Amino acid sequence: MQTAKRDIAVSMTGISKRFGPVRALENANLEIARGSILGLVGQNGAGKSTIIKVLAGIIKPDSGSIVINGEAVTSLTPASVEKLGVHFIHQDRLLVPTATVGEAVFLGHEIGLGPFVSRRVMERRAADLLKRFFGMELPAGTLVKDLTTAQQKVVQITRALAQKASVLVLDEPTAALVKREVDSLFDVLRRLRDDGIAVVFISHYMQEIEKLCDRVTVMRNGTDVGTVDPRQTPIDEIIAMMIARDVGEMFPKRSVELGAPVLEVSNLRLGGSFENIGFNIRAGEIVGLTGLLGSGAKEIVQCLFGLKTADGGEVKVEGRELSLSTPVKAVRDGIAMLPEDRRAHGVALGLSVRENISLASLRRYSRSGMVSRGAENQAVDGLIKELSIKTPHRDALVRELSGGNQQKVAIAKWLSCQSRVYVLDEPTVAVDVGAKVEIYNLLNRLAGEGAAILLLSSDLLELVGVCDRVLVVYRGRLAGSFSGPAMNSDALLAASSGARSNIDGVAA
């Protein structure tokens, strides 16, 4: 069959892989055609990254066969796969920050005489390639760390092209890009497709899949459940394939009686970032906070958790005034924080699920300084069950969980602490659709239990769908407070770009 279709670059059939008791791949198939862009979607844990790692030679499959360019390959290694023309742009495998563009493009394939590399030749050749493929001109000797994230992606792609790539696999390439950069990356990918290169594009963003891909393969529970044309299949249908149930309401409805104010912020200011910020959040209320990059919205959240010290103003939790100078005090005063950078601040990957969940509340499970394992295990098991965290057991390392489940561990840490105020900083970035819905449900439940929730997000649909009220920050000041029918993404966008303001109802 593989030989019949000459335009198939890579064909993986019947791939299975187990990690201990966890079934990562079960009889999964993936077919990549030349001159076409294939989308690969699925929830975290569906097996997307595992099948890609199998193709990259990083993971050895238990069974199955792989044919690359008509040639059956038995044992793949990262080096042999590159020789076959299959290249990977990994999500978080970054370039060496202190290397020059030339060094980065020819990393592992340095040009030179014997052991000596000729940096000048590499710079010139890299500049030629960048100009020829992407029309991009960079000053000679530019360092990787001085490039934007989008330019770094382009350098990574150029490295692949310099090695005569015939298959290019991109894992979440747009996660850190702004819209304009995404558009130019898409142009690059389309041009490569027209040159006959096979492109695989992994993304959580359905709009991108719809816009870019010729075909999309959907994975669920370690196997491929179908390949469709995204231009002719409604997004809802693709999402339904991913989660095997009707999406119905992405944003679950709820009705909560609002209680007394839990968080009261007044006249908060931080020099150079924001001033005169005041708002209340009542028990059971979910308040959104948004603003463009540099608007000061992020710094407001950081001040509330003591990561930055405000220059002035007042913050009260349940009527008690707080001195927010460090996270230590914020945690003691009942404020929980879900940071944006999950791997650096949210969960410790090298610690177990148990150690992560109990970290902020150890005192509750200890007597005279010694941890009581029984009490800790009981609480941790309860939370694993409650949040349906997918983990082999409580002592598994958080590193082994999928992104959505890692985020649930980060949330469980604060549930275990019984915090009163939850501050969430972009909680659903790089989290798949299914886990997103679960996180929204969780927020609703916390609100239902009387917590006050502040959700900082740049996803306007998410804010409109989840929040009771959304505050918009523009140039360091509150530019609007929207609720009810006035709360829609157009209004939020207009307010965050300064085009319109709506200061009614902004609490003093």
Q: What is the closest distance, in whole angstroms, from the C-beta atom of residue 340 to another protein in the complex?
A: 11
If binding is defined by CB under 8 A, does position 371 make contact with another protein? yes
Please, which contacts does 232-235 make with residues 24 or more away whose CB atoms are closer than 8 Å?
235/206, 235/207, 235/210
The stretch among 33-41, 101-109, 369-377, 400-408 that binds another protein (CB under 8 A) is 369-377
Q: Where are the alpha helices (DSSP H) in 46-140?
A: 48-55, 78-83, 101-105, 119-134
Residues facing residue 336 across a β-bridge: 422
* Among positions 301, 337, 431, 467, the unique one binding another protein when judged by CB under 8 A: 337
Judged by beta carbon, residue 148 or residue 418, the one nearer another protein is 418
Distance of CA 409 to the CA centre of its chain: 15
Judged by beta carbon, residue 14 or residue 382, the one nearer another protein is 14
Please give the Cα distance from 448 to 422 (Å, whole number).
Answer: 13
If binding is defined by CB under 8 A, does position 177 make contact with another protein? no
DSSP helix/strand/coil, 188: helix
Q: What is the closest distance, in whole angstroms, from the C-beta atom of residue 327 to another protein in the complex?
A: 5
Q: What is the closest distance, in whole angstroms, from the C-beta atom of residue 430 to another protein in the complex?
A: 17
Please give the Cα distance from 69 to 122 (Å, whole number).
Answer: 29
If binding is defined by CB under 8 A, does position 345 make contact with another protein? yes
The stretch among 46-54, 93-101, 179-187, 327-335 that binds another protein (CB under 8 A) is 327-335
Contact 288, 457 (CB under 8 A): yes
* Among positions 331, 383, 429, 471, the unique one binding another protein when judged by CB under 8 A: 331
If binding is defined by CB under 8 A, does position 79 make contact with another protein? no
Q: What is the closest distance, in whole angstroms, from the C-beta atom of residue 148 to another protein in the complex?
A: 24
The stretch among 34-42, 165-173, 201-209, 346-354 that binds another protein (CB under 8 A) is 346-354
If binding is defined by CB under 8 A, does position 370 make contact with another protein? yes
Q: What is the closest distance, in whole angstroms, from the C-beta atom of residue 360 to another protein in the complex?
A: 4
Judged by beta carbon, residue 33 or residue 349, the one nearer another protein is 349
If binding is defined by CB under 8 A, does position 427 make contact with another protein? no
If binding is defined by CB under 8 A, does position 256 make contact with another protein? no
| Residue type, position 206, single letter | M
Judged by beta carbon, residue 352 or residue 502, the one nearer another protein is 352
Residues in contact with another protein, shown as a per-residue x/- string from 261 to 300 under the rule CB under 8 A: ----------------------------------------
Please give the Cα distance from 146 to 10 (Å, whole number).
Answer: 35
If binding is defined by CB under 8 A, does position 451 make contact with another protein? no
Q: What is the closest distance, in whole angstroms, from the C-beta atom of residue 470 to another protein in the complex?
A: 25
- E strands, 195-297, are 198-202, 215-220, 223-228, 261-270, 274-282, 286-290
Please give the Cα distance from 163 to 39 (Å, whole number).
Answer: 23
Please give the Cα distance from 300 to 380 (Å, whole number).
Answer: 32
Q: What is the closest distance, in whole angstroms, from the C-beta atom of residue 365 to another protein in the complex?
A: 9
- The pair of structure tokens assigned to 377 is 């295990």
Q: How far is CA 335 from CA 160, 263, 393, in A?
A: 46, 10, 29
Judged by beta carbon, residue 65 or residue 184, the one nearer another protein is 65
Contact 10, 84 (CB under 8 A): no
Judged by beta carbon, residue 77 or residue 483, the one nearer another protein is 77
Q: Which of 412, 420, 306, 406 is nearest to 359 (CA)?
A: 412
Count of residues interacting with another protein (CB under 8 A): 32
Helix (H) or strand (E) holding 193: helix 179-194
Instruction: Give the interface with another protein as residue ranges (CB under 8 A).
Output: 62-63, 305, 327-328, 330-332, 337, 339, 341, 344-351, 355-356, 358-360, 362-363, 366, 369-371, 397, 413
